[in-house]
Chain A
């Protein structure tokens, strides 16, 4: 069942011998040790497992690893460059936009995808774009502010 699957993972070309039917989420966590991508519901309803695939925020629990063959996958671990936080990560820290932190990687990946598509979103567009990412602690107000701040910084070319 196992076969060679290749895709780009966090900027690097990756090849692995895997059962293509396996869920991308568990392959990322178990095979690649990228545990920043979380399991929250396994049904695509909560968003804690969000990663970027070809710059689109996608629920990694709803994809098989076979489906990402040849694609560009970015996880939370691949977001910061050379130890420098990505503007979205930085804004989450600045705004204290987290509590337990379990939804945070998914929130950040979703927000990053949102800003790649729409670098200048209104507050209403941010809320709409983040709608399907769930947070139980109630960090929502600050997450919206953080995404707003990040969009400004990213536009400034920083």
Chain B
């Protein structure tokens, strides 16, 4: 085929690669049809906030390749960490391109091969990356149809594409496969505009359930995570850690470590590590280092942190406002004031932060369990002073993230040690390190003042967030006079949190839903109206109304004025454009304060659902994980010292906690897909608190709702 038959090939303006030289890129990929996108569309199309979109103009990025054997390879900077996009993204690709699902292969999280992506978070893979990938597939199909038309001598309009074969509609024996069309060619196309994509309703694979594509390798132990790599001459590193955030090394004696057979001790300022081919000996050596520290701790701990937050000098920022609060107060006949507390919570993925770094020639390759391979690449570039094209990050399977692996300090540590020693180095954080260096879900205080009129309509909503985030703080209900204000430390003042905090599955929405939905329950109870009816009465958002009605039906909800003694709670909320409503049933042991969640029913409107079974699994995961922050999870600390660093004291959900879980995904094929990895976790604190109230009349304003706190609340009934 003559090259000029394909338009848009303009080699002179092809952007320069940043990851690897163009020739190497093609050496790896081979030939075929390759769709790139112009990087300046990345910001718009990948919906990256300005500060996350690094400067891209020199990059070029491939989206998909159709190889000579007909295999379709998708490149994505997103990673697979259990959320299931290794299964659902190919469904979208197969449909848009009209190929069999099994012919789609995924290459994920490799900074040399994949298009730039800020990170796998915010349930963005399907809703933000998906349309982009579909556009590339649509463009590829257009190229294939043009090639097919030329090959078969049939106009494009008279061709159809199905299962990787282009056929003449009128003469079906005239056909050619995608592989045959790609053979012996190297066709590059650059997406300049976002093409129109087909309606999802025409699709075959989308909106059907498929089992995890990675299940077999995960049940046989073949699936490779970063720690499963073994490179020739590789050494394990253990790094000397301070006992507390804010501790400073004063004296150190490493002679004991040097005596452990085969150990190399390296030092760069306060960064001290032992290296040994044998993990057991590396562990032993690190224990032989004698170090002393000076401490400058802030006098905060898990008990006084909330008080410190309220006393701190803060800069209020109005997040959103409508009407005016004074009018709201005048229209209200009953006013309610509450203060809610939510502590620091750990991510605690089963795979601790792990990375391997290897230097080959002048290039460093780092394999890491990370949610942000490009973010890690940037960190290594910055901290090691290397040019970006000399740093490659590859992401094998990730053993759970939940937001905690967006920061990937372990990858920088491995890279630094590889640079210092020239050896391949593996860093596997211990569980203790994982708890110490986690970027915790931030603690926060929420103060709400709200009011209702005589008919039970909410007229006032004055919502104040102290030191936690604003996601999920939408008023949700139809309130004429509402203001949401965020209070945090102003510039130049010391930070409130004594250690790193960050995104934790549905960041801050768990805190905000807890406060909002408990406050709404308080008002419903005071108005003498059933809590579900009270919500419906105050809602205008049809999608939320549908979720609530549907969850009531699924649960078999019988209205009652709480507390009814039944132990049934209601909550609803929104996250990543999806809406969710939960009803939970609990049993409370009044003598011990122990809460057992018996049943949780959840309805989710997530727009079009690509893989229903996969999404249900995410909902079940959210509900199960959410039991933890609701009932037990809390980081204990004294200044910068995390005093709780293992699964012996930090309790995460276990099998015996399991409620009966029922899930429904509303049929919304007419809508674009919304997020699915996080929404179903947001109501778990509130729905359990409301169910405890319904069971006992005790109100909980503080998570987690431990037996001691339940007993305390019962005393006030």
Report A's interface with B, CB cutoff 8 A: 19, 21-23, 26, 29-30, 33-43, 45-46, 48, 75-77, 79-80, 85, 89-90, 92-94, 96, 98-105, 108, 126-128, 130-144
Does A36 contact B400, Cβ atoms closer than 8 Å? no
B621 neighbours in A (Cβ, 8 Å)? 99, 137-139
Q: Which of A48, A75, A77, A144 contacts B658 (CB 8 A)?
A: A144
Q: Can you spell out 26 A-B residue pairs with CB atoms less than 8 angstroms apart?
A: A30-B230, A36-B220, A39-B227, A43-B646, A45-B646, A75-B221, A77-B220, A85-B220, A89-B220, A92-B219, A96-B211, A96-B215, A96-B614, A99-B82, A99-B84, A100-B399, A105-B219, A128-B655, A134-B652, A136-B347, A136-B349, A136-B400, A138-B625, A139-B621, A140-B624, A142-B620
B149 to chain A, nearest CB (A): 42
A140 neighbours in B (Cβ, 8 Å)? 624, 653-655, 658
* Number of B positions contacting A (CB below 8 A): 58
B625 neighbours in A (Cβ, 8 Å)? 136-138
At the interface, yes or no: B648 with Cβ under 8 Å from chain A?
yes
A114 to chain B, nearest CB (A): 11
Q: Which of B216, B217, B221, B661 contacts A141 (CB 8 A)?
A: B661
At the interface, yes or no: B89 with Cβ under 8 Å from chain A?
no
B351 neighbours in A (Cβ, 8 Å)? 38, 40, 100, 102
Give Cα A130 to B617, complex, Å.
19
Does B215 contact A108, Cβ atoms closer than 8 Å? no
Does B399 contact A92, Cβ atoms closer than 8 Å? no
Of chain B, the residue at the smallest CB distance from A88 is: B219
Q: Contacts A23-B280, A99-B621: A42 and B431 contacting too (C-beta < 8 A)?
A: yes
Extra A-B contacts (20), CB below 8 Å, given A43-B648, A76-B220, A139-B617: A19-B280, A26-B280, A30-B279, A35-B224, A38-B227, A38-B350, A85-B216, A92-B219, A96-B614, A96-B617, A100-B351, A101-B218, A102-B399, A104-B218, A136-B348, A136-B400, A136-B402, A139-B624, A140-B624, A141-B624
A26 neighbours in B (Cβ, 8 Å)? 278-280
Does A141 contact B400, Cβ atoms closer than 8 Å? no
Give Cα A23 to B620, complex, Å.
35
Give Cα A80 to B218, complex, Å.
13
Which residues of B (596-635) have their CB < 8 Å from a CB of A?
A: 613-614, 617, 620-625
At the interface, yes or no: B412 with Cβ under 8 Å from chain A?
no
Does B658 contact A127, Cβ atoms closer than 8 Å? yes
B646 neighbours in A (Cβ, 8 Å)? 41, 43, 45
Does B219 contact A104, Cβ atoms closer than 8 Å? yes
Give Cα A137 to B398, complex, Å.
12
**Sorted from nearest, which 10 A-B pairs have the closest CB atoms?**
A36-B221, A138-B624, A100-B82, A102-B399, A99-B82, A101-B218, A138-B621, A76-B221, A35-B228, A45-B647
Cβ contacts B206-227/A at 8 Å (1 or 0 each): 0000011011111111111101
Give Cα A92 to B227, complex, Å.
23
Does B613 contact A135, Cβ atoms closer than 8 Å? no
Main secondary structure of the interface of B (DSSP, over half): loop
At the interface, yes or no: B656 with Cβ under 8 Å from chain A?
yes
Give Cα A143 to B431, complex, Å.
24
Does A131 contact B656, Cβ atoms closer than 8 Å? yes
A144 neighbours in B (Cβ, 8 Å)? 655, 658
Does B216 contact A93, Cβ atoms closer than 8 Å? yes
B348 neighbours in A (Cβ, 8 Å)? 136
Q: Which of A45, A85, A130, A137 contacts B400 (CB 8 A)?
A: A137
A99 neighbours in B (Cβ, 8 Å)? 82-84, 212, 400, 617, 621
Give Cα A140 to B431, complex, Å.
22
B347 neighbours in A (Cβ, 8 Å)? 136
At the interface, yes or no: B522 with Cβ under 8 Å from chain A?
no
B593 to chain A, nearest CB (A): 21
At the interface, yes or no: B397 with Cβ under 8 Å from chain A?
yes
Q: Contacts A92-B219, A98-B219, A101-B223: A46 and B620 contacting too (C-beta < 8 A)?
A: no
Q: Contacts A100-B81, A137-B400: A34 and B221 contacting too (C-beta < 8 A)?
A: yes
Does B617 contact A135, Cβ atoms closer than 8 Å? no
Q: Which of B279, B350, B656 contacts A127 (CB 8 A)?
A: B656
Give Cα A102 to B353, complex, Å.
13
Does B397 contact A101, Cβ atoms closer than 8 Å? yes
Does A141 contact B219, Cβ atoms closer than 8 Å? no
Of chain A, the residue at the smallest CB distance from B623 is: A138
Does A134 contact B624, Cβ atoms closer than 8 Å? no
At the interface, yes or no: B430 with Cβ under 8 Å from chain A?
yes
Does A128 contact B278, Cβ atoms closer than 8 Å? no
Does B658 contact A22, Cβ atoms closer than 8 Å? no
At the interface, yes or no: B428 with Cβ under 8 Å from chain A?
yes
B85 to chain A, nearest CB (A): 12
Q: Contacts A39-B428, A98-B215, A142-B620: A30 and B278 contacting too (C-beta < 8 A)?
A: yes
Give Cα A37 to B230, complex, Å.
14
Of chain A, the residue at the smallest CB distance from B627 is: A138
A60 to chain B, nearest CB (A): 13
A92 neighbours in B (Cβ, 8 Å)? 215, 219
Does B350 contact A48, Cβ atoms closer than 8 Å? yes
Does A45 contact B648, Cβ atoms closer than 8 Å? yes
Q: Which of A45, A90, A131 contacts B655 (CB 8 A)?
A: A131
Cβ contacts B415-433/A at 8 Å (1 or 0 each): 0000000000000101100
A55 to chain B, nearest CB (A): 19
Give Cα A126 to B222, complex, Å.
26
Give Cα A144 to B656, complex, Å.
11
Q: Contacts A22-B278, A75-B221, A93-B219: A102 and B350 contacting too (C-beta < 8 A)?
A: yes
Give Cα A138 to B654, complex, Å.
9
Does B658 contact A43, Cβ atoms closer than 8 Å? no
B656 neighbours in A (Cβ, 8 Å)? 127-128, 131
Give Cα A72 to B279, complex, Å.
24
Does B218 contact A130, Cβ atoms closer than 8 Å? no
A148 to chain B, nearest CB (A): 13
Give Cα A76 to B216, complex, Å.
12
Q: Which of B220, B222, B614, B620 contacts A138 (CB 8 A)?
A: B620
Q: Which of A93, A126, A137 contacts B82 (CB 8 A)?
A: A137
A27 to chain B, nearest CB (A): 8
